[in-house]
Structures are given as structure tokens and as C-alpha cells.
Amino acid sequence: MQKNFNAVVVVEGKDDTIRLKQFFPGIETVETNGSAVSDAVLAKLKKLAQNREIIVLTDPDVNGERIRRLVTKAVPSAKQAFITRDEGRPEKAGSLGVEHASKAALERALSDLHEVAPKPGIDYDDYLDLGLALGGHSRKLREAVGIKLGIGYANSKRFYERLRTFGISLEELEKAVKEAENGQADSHR
């Protein structure tokens, strides 16, 4: 991560900012202060987006997804960075969060950005056929595929939307599913 990092990173709170500044001292953040993102924060992000790149890096949980949707709706050009649930897990009891991620996880997330660029290619029947919804192991498969594609975990409906939003092709998805299934099979031996 370079010191002249021009992007502004949207995070949930001050602990996330502290963690990022610990590893990337020159980084600038905007804190949403929870999942009820204020109109003032959204207005600030819209203004910043006129001259700066906006990156959304939220916790891998329901509130993080809500914030991501609100910010992306206000600033469609915002790029998306994801940490996995494992990367955001605290060493002791507590909730998942960016504030618990390692330097390596944060570097990976901030260098593997996704842009909203919808492309047709995956229809819902393909999604179902690949076992990503309505199956006994669909949740675990979505989590593994999300890690392979670097787009994080989401429930069935949101994961499908995310695949389409980021323009993941059917071929990319099929490859990730195959790799995830092989990885799961390997871990069960």
C-alpha cells in the first residue's frame, strides 16, 4: 500500500480506522458510525467521489452488507473491498469485523477491488444448477466460492445479486464452484 494512496476507504467505525492506520499510516477513511448511514455521510461521500476514488470495506456481516448497499447506491462508482468471515473473526469472543483483520488480509482486500459493472451471463437457473441456493450445503459452498472470487459471503439472494453486479461470468463462477467443491472434498478426507 503506497503512502500516496488516493482513495478514501469507507469503514463502519473508529476501530476500523485505527486498524487501517496501524498498517497504512497515510490512509484516509470515512466512518459510517453504524448501519444507519446518515444523509450527511452519504453527501460527504458523493462530494469526495467527484475527485477521489471511494472504496467500501465493511464487516462481513448483515450490517456491513446494509452499509455497502447504501453507500453503493449513493456512490455507484465506489469500488468494493471484502474480507472473509475468517479474516474478520476476533481472537476472543466478539463480532466479526475489519478491526480484527490482519495486515495481509487488509492488503489483499484493498488490492483486489471489485467494480459495479453488470454484465449478463449468469441466470438464476445456472445459479441453482451449480448448487449455490436451495441445497443442504449451499451456504458453505457460497462462502467458499465467495473466497475464491474475492467477493465475500452473502445469503443466497444477495450472493446472486453480487455475482451479477460485479459481472462475474458463468465460466468464472463454474471454475470457482469446481475449485471450492474440490477444496471441500479435500478437507473431508
- What the block records as the C-alpha cell of 137 is 450445503
Cα–Cα distance for residue pair 80/121, rounded to 1 Å: 20
Reading the block at residue 150, the C-alpha cell is: 474475492
Residue in 153, 57, 65 with CA at minimum distance from that of residue 106:
57
Residue 56 clears pLDDT 70, i.e. is over it: yes
Of 57, 63, 67, 157, residue with least CA distance to 108: 57
CA distance 79 to 110: 10
Q: Identify the pLDDT of residue 118.
A: 60
Q: Inform me whether the pLDDT recorded for 177 exceeds 90.
A: yes
Domains parsed from the chain with CATH numbers: 1-116 (3.40.50.140), 117-189 (no CATH)
In angstroms, rounded to a whole number, what is the distance separating the alpha carbons of residues 171 and 12? Answer: 34
Rounded to an integer, what distance in angstroms lies between the CA atom of residue 6 and that of residue 28? 8
Distances (CA, A) of 4 to 25, 84, 92: 10, 26, 34
Q: What is the mean pLDDT of the chain?
A: 90
pLDDT band at 3 (very low <50, low <70, confident <90, very high): very low
Q: How confident is the model at residue 186 (pLDDT cuts 50, 70, 90)?
A: low
What is the predicted pLDDT for the residue at 35?
82
- Per residue in 7-48, pLDDT (tens digit) is 999 999 999 999 999 999 999 999 999 888 999 999 999 999
User: pLDDT tens across 127-160, in order?
Assistant: 999 999 999 999 999 999 999 999 999 999 999 9
